[in-house]
Amino acid sequence: MIDVGLRVVRGPDWKWGNQDDGEGHVGTLVEIGKAGSTASPDKTVVVQWDSGTRTNYRVGYQGAYDLLVYDNAPIGVKHPNIICDVCKKHGIQGMRWKCTECYDYDLCTECYMSDKHDSNHTFMRYVTQNSLAVKMPKRNGSAKIQARGIFPGGRVVRGPDWDWGSQDGGEGKTGRVTDIRGWDVESGRSVASVTWSNGSTNVYRVGHKGKVDIKYTQDAPGGMYYKDHLPKLGERLEVNPVAVSGEIGRASCRERV
């Protein structure tokens, strides 16, 4: 499930200093490496960080994993008919978290990471609708990181994929992020609402279709996350074979996260 538009943070094998502007800062996967490429070989990806930096990273290359999947809602991942038992949103977008100690109790990522429900209960993580569950450690005692980047309250300017003329009032003009939301039913948490200094307000891509229209001049906090609870980007993902192929009798099949 490596796809352009994924939102990512630094992972366990990170050795690249502050290319991401510091731990917790978020970026967008914008290019997937290919076999035979010298610039972006197989098992590498290119990330456009919210700060404006753009670099390639290992997602299994030579056994190293530089990145974690922070959010897969921007590529359209959802769990139809599953309701978050705290915020009551229907059709959880992104990863799903299911309590192992309570009957039929699910959380969306935002509620899970903000410590809704008992933090001493263990949960199962479902990366996609078709993936098999992976048991998580208890949130109580796990390391938490503050996410930062293009979030409400941040200041931004036009970025690498800007294609909107002078909506921002011109090159170098700044705007304020007022909301992060999905693009219709196609993707979740994939566009930012921005109010520019000239008074105009529009939405801009921050992961939708793998595009990034803006970059920050001043980042903003986006909530906390448990880094040891997020999947490594590029790691093999156990997938329910019935959901994938309709066949019964195989233990599982695999795809890359």
State the amino acid at position 40 in one-letter form: S
What whole-number distance in Å separates Cα of residue 120 and Cα of residue 157? 42
Instruction: Using alpha carbons, select from 168, 152, 156 the residue that is nearest to residue 217.
Output: 156
* Strand (E) or helix (H) holding 243: helix 241-245
Q: Enter the pTM of the model.
A: 0.92
Amino acid identity, residue 9? V
- Helix, coil or strand: residue 98: strand
Q: Are 147 and 10 in contact (CB under 8 A)?
A: no
CB atoms within 10 A of CB 225: 23
Of 20, 88, 91, give the one whose Cα is nearest residue 56: 20
DSSP annotation string for 176-221: EEEEEEEETTTEEEEEEEEEETTS-EEEEEBSGGG-B-EEEEE-EE
Cβ neighbours of residue 103 closer than 8 Å, sequence gap 6 or more: none
| Tens-digit pLDDT profile for residues 78-103 | 999 999 999 999 999 999 999 999 99
Q: What is the pLDDT of residues 36-87, one digit of tens each?
A: 887 888 999 999 999 999 999 999 999 999 999 999 999 999 999 999 999 9
Q: Cα 180–181–183 angle (5° rounding)?
A: 135
Q: What is the DSSP letter of 110?
A: H
User: How confident is the prediction for the chain on average, in pLDDT?
Assistant: 92
Q: How far apart are CA 247 and CA 250, in angstroms?
A: 8
User: Is pLDDT above 60 for 243?
Assistant: no
Helix (H, G, I), strand (E, B) or coil at 113: helix
Q: How far apart are CA 183 and CA 153, in angstroms?
A: 20
H or E stretch covering 244: helix 241-245
Please write the tens of the pLDDT for every residue from 116-170. 999 999 999 999 999 999 999 999 999 999 999 999 999 999 999 999 999 999 9
Q: How remote is the C-alpha of 85 from its chain's centroid? A: 21
Please report, rounded to a whole number, the percentage of residues in the chain having pLDDT higher than 90: 86
Cβ-contact 106, 100 below 8 angstroms: no
Confidence of residue 236 (pLDDT cuts 50, 70, 90): confident
Q: How many CA atoms lie within 13 A of 83 on its CB side?
A: 6
pLDDT grade, residue 242 (50/70/90)? Answer: low
The pLDDT of residue 37 is 81
